[in-house]
Amino acid sequence: MIPRYAMIPQIQKATAAIFIAFAFGLSTLGNASPRISSVDGDIKEGGTLTISGAGFSALNVEEVLYDHVSNQETYDTLSSGSDVPVNDGPWSEGTNIYGNQLTVVKSGDLRTSHSSAAYYGEVKSYVGWPRVLSGATNQKLYASWWFKPSQLANNGGSNKFIRVWDRSDGTATRISLTQMHMTYSGTSGNSHTSWGTTQPDANRWNRFEFYVDSGSNSITATLNGKVVQNVNDFRKSNTSEGLSVAQIGFDPSEGNRYPNYS
């Protein structure tokens, strides 16, 4: 069996925040207690949903990328199983030569009946550096994505689900969320490690959320609504480049331990 996984991501940015192949509009990061009076519209691809009520917080957020895969015009002419293009489309980089390129699939389990495509990876495969964030100076970033692996990432190694950097050469801010810990640039000026399990369930869709706030020196990661990482000693490097998603997908440190991961 060839290892693989499916993924549907998004990205968003505010004056200092970002959203990746995920949903940021209805955020749990606000302090208000909203009261919903009505919900109108169609929950479908391209549809509009209007939520009315009171007590909603005014978040200073700009959505920069909502990548539902099937909403990317660049992929319309691709046949199912084609590599995700990095010369065009939302992502500017793919897997390096040591892994497998992420592909676009248009059949199988696409999470909902309203979806017509998803990303598909085998063992080590990911995308990164969304074009819309090129040249950005944001100090905050929020990312949320759906992820369905074929097995647990519990066979050893350090297996990354997302990396957040600011400089593309990796010499400044570095954050990595793995199945066993999160490593990040700390207030001490050195790399810090926060231990804790982040284990997406096998053969079901899992929702990741990841929020970085340089102003409060905080990073929060959730999996299926449960907080798995929460630190307040993060320190962004003193560089003009804003936070971005350097990698999203699955990147095992020892791919031979996961020959059937997909």
Over the stretch 106-164, which tens digit does the pLDDT of each residue have?
A: 999 999 888 899 999 999 999 999 998 999 999 999 999 999 999 999 999 999 999 99
One DSSP character per residue, 9-61 reads -EEEEESS--EEES--SS-S-S----EEEEEEE--STT--EEEEEE------E
Nearest residue to 204 (alpha-carbon basis) of 143, 152, 256: 152
pLDDT tens for each residue of 165-218: 999 999 999 999 999 999 999 887 899 999 999 999 999 999 999 999 999 999
Task: Take residue 209 and report the two structure tokens written for it.
Answer: 């959320």
H and E: helices and strands count for the chain: 0, 20
Cα separation of 93 and 244, whole Å? 12
Q: State the residue for tokens 């899992």.
A: 206
Cα separation of 241 and 243, whole Å? 7
Cα separation of 143 and 221, whole Å? 10
pTM for the full model? Answer: 0.82
What is the dihedral sign for C-alpha 195, 19, 251, 172?
Answer: negative
Q: Across residues 76-85, what is the average pLDDT?
A: 96
Position 204 scores a pLDDT of 94
Mean pLDDT for the chain overall: 83
Q: Across residues 75-81, what is the average pLDDT?
A: 96
Cα separation of 119 and 82, whole Å? 10
Position 94 scores a pLDDT of 95
User: 221 — alpha (psi -120 to 50), left (phi > 0) or beta?
Assistant: beta
Position 98 scores a pLDDT of 83
pLDDT tens for each residue of 36-77: 777 776 655 556 666 777 765 555 556 678 888 998 999 999
pLDDT tens for each residue of 220-259: 999 999 999 999 999 999 999 999 999 999 999 998 898 8
pLDDT tens for each residue of 14-40: 433 333 333 222 222 334 456 777 777
Cα separation of 210 and 108, whole Å? 27
Position 47 scores a pLDDT of 61
Task: Take residue 235 and report the two structure tokens written for it.
Answer: 């320190």
Query: Are 120 and 133 a contacting pair, CB within 8 Å?
Result: no
User: 92 — alpha (psi -120 to 50), left (phi > 0) or beta?
Assistant: alpha
Position 241 scores a pLDDT of 95
Task: Take residue 85 and report the two structure tokens written for it.
Answer: 């293009």
Q: Across residues 78-102, what is the average pLDDT?
A: 93
